[in-house]
Structure 1
Amino acid sequence: MDRASVRYEHFRDSGALSERFAGHLEHAGIALTPPVPGVCPGSSDIGNVSGRVPAIHPFVAIMDPDGSDHTPEFAEAAASERARRVLLAVVEALALTGLDVLRDPGLHGRAWEDLRRAEG
């Protein structure tokens, strides 16, 4: 397939999965802030995946709000203790969210309903 013909679809967030993930992060002591309106994460194949199965695409901070990625400061922050702490909490929250989907039929159903509603 010619790379020029690849089309990335719009990302569809599962509110049910995002809420569960956020709850697990908060339990780990990481407070989340709402996404900034109008800020788009850019094109990615996660959009294609999220149109077929319920998905989330969490973003977590390893820098203060005035920091920016793709900078020397970001590279330094990525090797910091804060980044290690956040990464471990994120990995645990993702694993727990996946476990919740397997163990909670209601969550499983709400996640699929989110997808059907997004297809709308």
Structure 2
Amino acid sequence: EVSTLPAGFTNTSTASDIHLSSNGKFVYVSNRGHNSIVTYQINANGTLKALNWESSRGVTPRGFTIYKDLLIVANQGSDDMYVFKVNANTGALTYTGNSYKIDGAVSLYVAEY
């Protein structure tokens, strides 16, 4: 069993979305209630190791997408989205400073044109 929440967190929270990193080394899960994205390392035997919980910077992260070296999260409760850089070596997420207001933010899709 793998928890999506850090030890000691006792408030109500549910997982919402899950994605594999572009390089296949990490798994990311959004936590509504904890307002975070957890990063898991995929071990050689296929088990997961929780590495870090990064704040979604908003309320109720619902959906997110990974596009190249970016993770973009839609926060339903605060009507916004935030952009993070994904470190391909460590899986760490770093806020880029980019955020946008989006009414009813629920899911995201990146279209190239």
Fold similarity call, TM over 0.5: no
More strand by percentage: 2
Q: Which has the larger share of helix?
A: 1
Greater C-alpha Rg: 1
Q: What TM-score do the two structures reach when normalised by structure 2? A: 0.29
Query: Quick one: higher RCO (CA 8 Å, sep 6+), 1 or 2?
Result: 1
